[in-house]
Chain A
């Protein structure tokens, strides 16, 4: 490793980035466009939301209502809880997106006043799913209002005509605005960084092959490590600028509340940039055509980030097999971290698991990248 040679590589690469309209466009214009596109147009249809039920009354009527939740296609596991603390724990642990609490005097209130309230608590860090879950809960309660309730009145000699009304009273934690965008936008940032990072570096080595400059370069004493770092360092700077732009847009344009600290954000973003730039570089080393390299980079970043990172499809609602697969899908860690930082004020310590995942990935990718390039033509 020679600092002199490394500097020469970095400087040359930086000049080329500044002079290449294609790189510049990818680096500066694409993130803005994608933030606009992905930040707005998202609508989701989610099934099998995991919920919990805390039935304080545990009567014939309330059990009948709970069985309605059980039967509904919208919800997957319906776990029964036995105290208020359990509700909080279940949501914190991510075991459910929503918890339904039926008060102890539910039947009595209903009989007496013709109306009663079921409480619902949502995981506000997953606002998007929570929003949807809320809609589903209301759907089930509408069915209850139309059916079970009537039968119950009949059985108890009440007056079916004086139709009682069950209301859902939503309460949320962590996040007061309940805007699905808060949930989506951090994921959008991850998607954009992955796409752009891999795109940028995927072109660097293949461009030198295509233009014939690589043959000259590998005839010099420059080492493979210097080539790799010389390529990654300038793009790392570009990636971090892009990240800053996207994150600033998220906070100042999309009004996503930022509750965490900047250091945590910086560490996680730096690791993630390293991973995606490294992936682009690896592709670039293997594929000697710029077009093919950039297409493969698109494929290996777009698919996992959009489908399996939990950015739009919450991971805990995927089939178990797919959930297991997401463990090796690097963006899921960054998405988790970003949401934690943005919505829950998580610290480095709170996020040690996904951070560890990112570190492992970063080391793996950089190690692979440092071994991938050989100074040979054949």
Chain B
């Protein structure tokens, strides 16, 4: 086996999806998903329930056969080299899936056996997994009786026993309390620091900030991809300004449909305006409003939250879909 297949075969990208599509009957759950994840990158998969995150991850792991498209993971083709792919990935399914009737140690030993962890390293890796999950002293506890956060960390521990270069984590933090969620993300970053590539899905927007890059997915389609700050800067398609003015209603009317203005909306007692990039900025905006007899206070450039960007992109997706 090639010592470093990921690099030789794919120029460093640990995960490549090319036009991945999954249809269930006439329903398209994932629609031509294409993306590349670099080695050591933490890629967030963000989207509401039913967006197609799990189906995409399952296709990448070889658990679900794509209707169309292809993918490679850790340098192996998912369609034709599924065994090799499975040896090089760690996977946590969305539903908790360790054996509840077995103890912490028995679960770890089972997965170590299944992944053929070398006998000489078995003890060390199991110990590491136990301490990583914070389960010291609980090795003989039945897993079913553990609390959510511990279960999830143990599941991660089981998924990385064989030191896979690529990790797929499907909503690993759902239903876990915030403190435990933060701890979980610390673990992901530790792994990334050691070169592990991670694709992690979540529907918590705040977790997007923990990712190197995020892929926004909605109704099976990839709607945007980039680092969190890139998306906040460019995701709206222009610059966002927050302005104080009155009356708000008249201001909104004055800006709607005006050249260079992409979007305007009332946001509390202020106005949020998206100005086409390259168009004149704040001064032109103020001038236009004053021309309509509106009192203008401060105008300052601001960044949208990821949630704003997502809502914006989804709304745009809807429009183009209804028009086209």
User: A residues touching B (Cβ–Cβ < 8 Å)?
Assistant: 2, 4-5, 7-9, 11-12, 15-16, 19-20, 211-223, 375-378
A228 to chain B, nearest CB (A): 15
A346 to chain B, nearest CB (A): 43
Residue numbers in B under 8 Å from A15 (CB-CB): 101-102, 106
B100 beta carbon closer than 8 Å to chain A: yes
Does A212 lie within 8 Å of B110, measured CB to CB? no
10 contacts between A and B (CB under 8 A): A7-B113, A8-B112, A15-B101, A20-B101, A211-B97, A216-B91, A218-B63, A219-B63, A219-B86, A376-B65
Which of A211, A213, A215, A378 touches B65 (beta carbons < 8 Å)? A378
A132 to chain B, nearest CB (A): 50
Q: Size band of the B side of the interface?
A: 20 to 34
Does A16 lie within 8 Å of B89, measured CB to CB? no
B83 beta carbon closer than 8 Å to chain A: yes
Which of A19, A214, A221 touches B114 (beta carbons < 8 Å)? A221
B10 beta carbon closer than 8 Å to chain A: no
B185 beta carbon closer than 8 Å to chain A: no
B81-94 contact mask (Cβ, 8 Å, vs A): 1 or 0: 01100110101110
B58 beta carbon closer than 8 Å to chain A: yes
Q: Beyond A8-B109, A219-B62: 9 further Cβ-contacts under 8 Å?
A: A12-B99, A15-B101, A16-B99, A19-B101, A215-B95, A216-B98, A219-B86, A221-B86, A376-B64
Residue numbers in A under 8 Å from B65 (CB-CB): 376, 378
Residue numbers in A under 8 Å from B97 (CB-CB): 211-216
Does A8 lie within 8 Å of B63, measured CB to CB? no
Does B113 lie within 8 Å of A5, measured CB to CB? yes
> Nearest 9 pairs between A and B by C-beta?
A8-B113, A216-B97, A219-B91, A212-B95, A215-B93, A221-B86, A212-B97, A12-B110, A19-B101
User: In whole angstroms, what is the CA distance A156 to B91 when docked?
Assistant: 98
A269 to chain B, nearest CB (A): 30
B316 beta carbon closer than 8 Å to chain A: no
A213 with B99, Cβ < 8 A, contacts A218-B63, A220-B111, A376-B64 known = yes
Residue numbers in B under 8 Å from A5 (CB-CB): 113-114, 116
Residue numbers in A under 8 Å from B204 (CB-CB): none
User: In whole angstroms, what is the CA distance A221 to B164 when docked?
Assistant: 12
Residue numbers in A under 8 Å from B155 (CB-CB): 216
- The chain A residue with its CB closest to the CB of B142 is A19
User: In whole angstroms, what is the CA distance A266 to B114 when docked?
Assistant: 32
Residue numbers in B under 8 Å from A19 (CB-CB): 101-102
- The chain A residue with its CB closest to the CB of B113 is A8
Residue numbers in A under 8 Å from B112 (CB-CB): 8
User: In whole angstroms, what is the CA distance A221 to B98 when docked?
Assistant: 16
Does B87 lie within 8 Å of A221, measured CB to CB? yes
B146 to chain A, nearest CB (A): 15
B169 to chain A, nearest CB (A): 12
A4 with B113, Cβ < 8 A, contacts A12-B102, A377-B63 known = yes
Residue numbers in B under 8 Å from A213 (CB-CB): 97-99
Does B106 lie within 8 Å of A216, measured CB to CB? no
Q: Among residues 144 to 180 in chain B, which have CB atoms less than 8 Å away from a CB atom of chain A?
A: 155
Residue numbers in A under 8 Å from B89 (CB-CB): 219
Does B115 lie within 8 Å of A221, measured CB to CB? yes
B128 beta carbon closer than 8 Å to chain A: no
B189 to chain A, nearest CB (A): 23
- The chain A residue with its CB closest to the CB of B87 is A221
A216 with B115, Cβ < 8 A, contacts A12-B106, A20-B101 known = no
Which of B63, B83, B95, B101 touches A221 (beta carbons < 8 Å)? B83
Residue numbers in B under 8 Å from A9 (CB-CB): 113-114
User: In whole angstroms, what is the CA distance A211 to B99 when docked?
Assistant: 8
B267 beta carbon closer than 8 Å to chain A: no
Does A216 lie within 8 Å of B93, measured CB to CB? yes
Does B110 lie within 8 Å of A8, measured CB to CB? yes
Does B93 lie within 8 Å of A220, measured CB to CB? no
